[in-house]
Amino acid sequence: MAILRAHPARRGRWRPWLFALPALGVYVVFLVYPAVSSLWFSFTDWDGLSPAYNIVGLDNYARMFSDPVVLTAARNNLIWSLVTIVFPVTIGLALAMVLNGKVRGKPVLRLIFYAPGVLPLVSIASIWGWLYNPQYGAINSFLSLVGLDDLAQPWLGQDSTALWAVMVPAVWLRTGFPMLLYLAALQGIPSELYEAARVDGASRWHQFWHVTMPGLRSAHYIVLALSLIDSFKVFDMVYAMTYGGPGTATQVMGTWMYANVFQYYQAGYGTAIAVVITVVAIAVGIPYVLSQTRERAA
């Protein structure tokens, strides 16, 4: 403190760091320390309970290449990412285009379409689990009612339909977020651009491709980056509806990581899977961060 009083200029230079210290302390304790600890334990054979462990180097990472469940989980993650990005983004953009026009009851419609995104995931999983119930679920009951009994399935109980059945509610709850972002971005596109395009004889399709889509570039980055990161981190929806089953049909990297750490007591191997998930999420997020940095610097 004596040094700071003796040099007013230096005191002013350190003042922002003093204000940031509480937040930095929380960040280090609750994020940096657990992340570094997880990285360390991924190089050990720790079981998650005992204080003793051995350092096994890269064995846990090498093991993933021969683990058939990891290969299934990685494939399911890719399918999940593709489906839960393409459909919510496409439907969200279409809804935003409609709601940006002259539609009655726009505030109510926005609330209806966005509402699934704020519901607790456990509630959504319970609702859809009841809908899929093979005995008294609403979906099979409806199919029987309209004479389509042959299409009735144990949706969550067989390998061929379980993963797709879990993805349906995921698409449903994810559509509201891109819709809101696209709606906000659409309202920021100057109407003069559309007027100039109409004067030049551009059709609605050409206006969409040459005016609307370029005007949504920033929204595209945000929606795609956040959707990709969320898709690779998926855990709660799958775990709440199927626990990764039947068998390993709906296992994703997040549920297999959880099973190894908390069910099979292989915390070292489980944290190695968690590290891989984190690395993939960071790699996906880097292009978004760089694009935002370049736009702000321009």
What are the boundaries of each domain within the chain?
56-297
Most distant CA pair in the chain: distance in Å? 88
* Tokens describing residue 3: 């040094």
Contacts of 261 (CB under 8 A, 6+ apart): 48, 267, 270, 271
User: In angstroms, what is the C-alpha Rg of the chain?
Assistant: 25
How far apart, in whole angstroms, are the C-alpha atoms of residue 270 and residue 60?
A: 9
Half-sphere exposure of 155 (CA within 13 A, CB side): 24
Coil vs helix vs strand at 3: helix
How far apart, in whole angstroms, are the C-alpha atoms of residue 281 and residue 35?
A: 14
Cβ atoms of residues 236 and 242 within 8 Å: no
The structure tokens 């994020």 sit at 31
* Tokens describing residue 189: 């596109």
Q: Which amino acid would we find at residue 213? A: M
**pLDDT score for 52:** 85
How far apart, in whole angstroms, are the C-alpha atoms of residue 172 and residue 125?
A: 12
Model pLDDT for residues 29-66, shown as the tens digit of each residue: 998 999 999 999 999 999 988 888 899 999 999 999 89
* Tokens describing residue 30: 């609750």
**pLDDT score for 295:** 64
Contacts of 285 (CB under 8 A, 6+ apart): 225, 228, 229
* Tokens describing residue 264: 């099979």
Query: What fold, for 56-297?
Result: MetI-like fold (1.10.3720)
**pLDDT score for 5:** 56
Helices marked H in the chain — which ranges? Answer: 2-6, 8-27, 33-41, 59-64, 68-99, 106-114, 121-132, 138-145, 159-174, 176-186, 191-199, 204-207, 213-215, 217-232, 236-242, 253-258, 267-297
* Tokens describing residue 268: 């070292």
Q: Which amino acid would we find at residue 236? A: D
**pLDDT score for 118:** 84
**pLDDT score for 8:** 60
CA 218 vs CA 69, 175, 222: distances in Å:
37, 18, 6
**pLDDT score for 60:** 94
Model pLDDT for residues 88-120, shown as the tens digit of each residue: 999 999 999 999 888 888 888 888 888 888 888
**pLDDT score for 203:** 87
The structure tokens 């285009």 sit at 97
* Tokens describing residue 174: 């994810």
**pLDDT score for 275:** 93
- How confident is the chain (298 residues) per 10-residue block, as mean pLDDT? 55 77 91 91 91 91 93 93 91 92 84 86 88 89 88 90 93 90 90 88 88 87 83 87 90 94 93 92 76 65
**pLDDT score for 53:** 87
